[in-house]
Amino acid sequence: MGQKEAKRAFCEWCHSRCRVVVHSEDGRLTEIEEDPSFPLVDNIFPPTRACLRLRGASEFMYHPDRVDFPLKRAGEKGEGKWQRISWEQAFDEIAAKLGQIREQYGAEAVASIHGTRRTHAEFSIRFMHLFGSPNYVGNGMICSAPDGVSGMMMFGWRPRYAVSMRFEKDAATGKPETQCIVCSGENPAHSYFRIWKGMRDVKAAGGKIITVDPRRTEAAELADIWLQIRPGTDAALFLAMINVIINEGLYDKDFVEKWCHGFDQLAERVREYTPENMAGITWLSADQIREAVKMYTSNRPATILTMGEGLEQQQYCIQALHARFILSALMGLVDAKGGDYLPGPANFITEADIELPDMLSPEQKAKQLGTHRFKLASWPGRTLINEGTRRVWGKDGGRARVMSQAHAPTMYRAILTGEPYPVKAAITVAANPMVTQGNTKLVYKALKSLDMYVVCDHWLTPTAELADYVLPVTTWLERPYLSSGGAHDNYIVAGEQALPSTITGEYDRRHDFDIARELAIRLGQGEHWPWTTLEEAFDYQLSPRGMTFKEFMDKGGFEFPPKEFKKHERQGFGTPTGKVELYSTILEKLGYDPLPYYKETFENPVTAPEVAEEYPLMLITGGRFVPMYHSEHRQIDSCRRRRPDPLVQINPKTAAEFDIGSGDWVWIETKRGRIRMKCQLFDGIDPRVVHAEHGWWFPELPGEEPWLHGVWESNVNVLTEDDPEVCNPVQGGWPLRTALCKVYKVKSY
């Protein structure tokens, strides 16, 4: 009889954040089921047991394509020739090269590249801060940072109500806390299953849903009002809503008077933003805008979902989100039940603390690429925001991923040009920039020209194929877990390591933590890495609570403190003025417009009529779809069978105009390149707009150049623009949801 085990592990294959029970026999995965001991087990739709990614877990664990041992490039870069080496050799060689580059060019010549939340990247950032480099980049800047820093600068903490772990019901009544949800630029039916369940619960309890989306998504179908907005114009819509709320006196006068800074300036600003003036811009009618205001203001409390990528990935994301947060403030729904809840930090050593932001010297911070131009989500903005959060909450309100990343487009250009200084090496941790970063052609040239490129991943992705070293990492199944919502929240959740990371002769995978630590020790950071294992690091994180990781797990492995609202009445807000800053003194200090505004995006028929002559359609990208997660799961057969091909959604009228039929392969072309996808006729998209999925590569195609697993075939970021000139002027986010394109049938395929 084999040795059977059951462990409570925390799944990181999407942001829905489930804890599950993982069964194994002799260290081999046998089954995964829901964890009934986890308090939010029923709070998800569909239930965990129906999760397609989980069902493919055995395929994932034992897939023949998994990178199981460290690899070193054996041929030219991109030639697809690899040599297996030992972990010791990998660590020794990589550390030696990093040390040499620091010696020759300075620490800032070493970069790290991160993806969305998947692993304990806080330890990789700790390594970077201690190494002395401010140049860690990643998709945080177009995912989380726009939302996070906008909330922080206005409220002095990031609102956490409408996020995946927080969609709770009222503890006393068992009913949804909120009466109305505005779902803007988000489709939780595919992206956040807990929010999706929450929306359905609100609707079932008689609440209202307003969905703002250029496409008729599941969230739009659920809605009482669907606003089919013109892409990139949400700031105009929100400003018009603010205009109505102020003009009709619908706001919470008491809260605004006592707790909001800059109401008069705001009222002045929105004067021109009438529904009538904004109607044409947004493709909505003035009546629709007024109706939405009526529904939003008369169903209290109401909440507007956060983290909608339709908002975060617009060129003027900060301006749109600033206006969005103003709506909550005007309604007095900040730190209020059913509105924007401000939890404050958890009582432990958070992810932000682990990163040791203060160990990076001011001189090195000032060298961060992009920091002089895009100040809000890098050190100048973070420093101002931290003053308030530290004063009121005693801690930083977020970590590097949200608060202080270097600007990726600027960094890729620095690699290529040596300006403003050389960047010579990079380590990628849980990211696939060849597929997910904007402007793939530039990313490709940059990554290829590095002196040393290290990729930590499970697979030989198109990105990994360009590396000098590929380091095989564990998944959530093979490592323990501890988190507090990325340092923004006060709950703590944990999970056990369910499966061994090494089976002799079969595989030898390491945690991202181990990789950071081994390099750190070789580079003289030993005193800051006293823990030999991730569990020991977790013991340290839990030490303020006087318990070890094991003791925390024994007690259930979670803590959700009861919610306390209206804390500002006791402590004020963690902003420079101690109030909600409708008029942001932080933006003002940084030299930007302190109030939100609407501006046309860089590439649309209004701003670029000459481009529109050849490329008449507006392209939006990246709408989420189950079961894929970004560029992941393409090699997992059970997932791929569900979604074998990349899809582009085109309105039947438009398709007819260009002689395209359902299921045809079509070229999608922008000024920057062309890719092909399969046409899905969809009458729920405006005829002037086309939607193309993101994340596509083909693991089954050859890895060596020129194929790179088909990265040039259907990867939508071949089409997107990342020029710093068109990035958000305040924060630097690159516009993934705005471009002009044309579509035409692929003649032979």
Ligand X SMILES: Nc1nc2c(c(=O)[nH]1)N[C@H]1C(S)=C(S)[C@@H](COP(=O)(O)OP(=O)(O)OC[C@H]3O[C@@H](n4cnc5c(=O)[nH]c(N)nc54)[C@H](O)[C@@H]3O)O[C@H]1N2
**What are the beta bridge partners of residue 176?**
169
Binding string to ligand SF4 for residues 189 to 218, with x set by CB under 6 A, is what? Answer: ----x-------------------------
Q: How many CA atoms lie within 13 A of 173 on its CB side?
A: 8
Measured CA to CA, the distance from residue 126 to residue 122 in angstroms comes to: 6
**CA neighbor of 137 nearest in space, from 507, 537, 412, 469:** 412
Residues 27-86 that bind ligand SF4 (CB under 6 A): 48, 51, 53-54
> Which residues, 626 to 645, sit near ligand X by CB under 6 A?
626, 628-632
Quick one: which segment of 97-105, 349-357, 570-578, 619-627 binds ligand X (CB under 6 A)? 619-627
Show the tokens assigned to 150.
């906008």
Pick 388 or 695: Cβ nearer ligand X: 695
Tell me whether residue 392 or residue 534 sits nearer to ligand X (CB atom): 534
Evaluate whether 480 touches 494 at the Cβ level (below 8 Å).
yes
**Strand ranges across the sheet with 302-304:** 225-227, 208-212, 180-184, 302-304
Residues 6+ apart with CB under 8 A from 36: none
Instruction: Identify residues 508-537 at the interface with ligand X (CB under 6 A).
Output: 512
Of the candidate spans 15-23, 76-84, 267-275, 341-349, the one that interacts with ligand SF4 by CB under 6 A turns out to be 15-23
* DSSP of 218-229: HHHHH-SEEE-P
Look at strands 452-457 and 425-429 and give their pairing. parallel
Q: Which of 16, 112, 116, 233 binds Mo ion (CB under 5 A)?
A: 116
Detail the DSSP E strand segments found in 396-499: 425-429, 452-457, 469-472, 481-483, 492-495
Cβ closer to ligand SF4: 116 or 654? 116
| Residue 188-217 contact track with ligand X, rule CB under 6 A, x = bound | x-xx--------------------xxxx-x
Residues 303, 161 contacting (CB under 8 angstroms):
yes
Please report whether residue 621 would count as binding ligand X according to CB under 6 A: yes
Site size for Mo ion, by CB under 5 A?
Answer: 2
CA-closest candidate to residue 429, choices 456, 406, 405: 456
**Which of ligand SF4, ligand X, Mo ion, none does residue 535 bind to, with CB < 5 to 8 Å depending on kind?**
none
Helix axes 408-417, 440-448, angle to 10 degrees: 50
- CB count within 10 Å of CB 499 equals 21
CB closest to Mo ion, residue no: 143
Q: Would you say 617 and 648 are in contact if contact means Cβ atoms under 8 Å apart?
A: no
What distance in Å separates the CA atoms of residue 213 and residue 202, rounded to the nearest whole number? 19
621 binds Mo ion (CB under 5 A): no
Picked from Mo ion, ligand SF4, ligand X, none, the partner binding residue 13 (CB below 5 to 8 A depending on kind) is ligand SF4
Strands 665-670 and 452-457, sheet pairing = unpaired
Cβ neighbors of 87 (< 8 A, separation 6 or more) are 70, 508, 510, 518
Tell me if 539 contacts ligand X by CB under 6 A. no
* 17/634 with CB nearer ligand SF4: 17
Among the residue ranges 451-459, 482-490, 563-571, 672-680, the one whose residues contact ligand X (CB under 6 A): 451-459
* 7, 9, 16, 407: residue in contact with ligand SF4 (rule CB under 6 A): 16
Query: Which residues are paired to 138 by β-bridges?
Result: 114
Number of residues that bind ligand X (CB under 6 A): 63
595 binds ligand SF4 (CB under 6 A): no
Q: Which of residues 115-144 bind ligand X (CB under 6 A)?
A: 115-116, 118-119, 139, 142-143
Size of the site for ligand SF4 (CB under 6 A): 11
Q: What does 51 bind: ligand X, ligand SF4, Mo ion, none (CB cut-off 5 to 8 Å by kind)?
A: ligand SF4
Between 225 and 547, CB nearer to ligand X:
225
- Cα–Cα distance measured from residue 325 to residue 406, given in angstroms and rounded to the nearest whole number: 25
The answer to whether 202 and 181 have CB atoms below 8 angstroms apart is yes
Q: Which of 7, 8, 9, 18 binds ligand SF4 (CB under 6 A)?
A: 18
Helix axes 286-298, 275-282, angle to 10 degrees: 110
Beta-carbon neighbour count of residue 689 at 10 Å?
A: 21
647 vs 692: CA distance, rounded Å? 6
Report strand pairing: 469-472 vs 452-457: parallel
Around 671, how many Cα atoms within 13 Å sit in the side-chain half-sphere? 16
Binding mask 464-483 for ligand X (x = CB under 6 A): ---------x----------
**Interface with ligand X by CB under 6 A: which range of 224-232, 553-561, 637-645, 651-659?**
224-232
Residue span binding Mo ion (CB under 5 A) among the ranges 135-143, 474-482, 563-571, 721-729 = 135-143
Residues of this chain, 137-176, that bind Mo ion according to CB under 5 A: 143
Nearest approach, Cβ of residue 349 and ligand X (Å): 21
Binding site for ligand SF4 (CB under 6 A): 11, 13-14, 16-18, 48, 51, 53-54, 193
Binding site for ligand X (CB under 6 A): 14-15, 115-116, 118-119, 139, 142-143, 184-188, 190-191, 212-215, 217, 229, 231-232, 234, 308-310, 313-314, 429-432, 435-436, 456-459, 461, 473, 512, 620-626, 628-632, 691, 694-695, 716-717, 720, 736-737
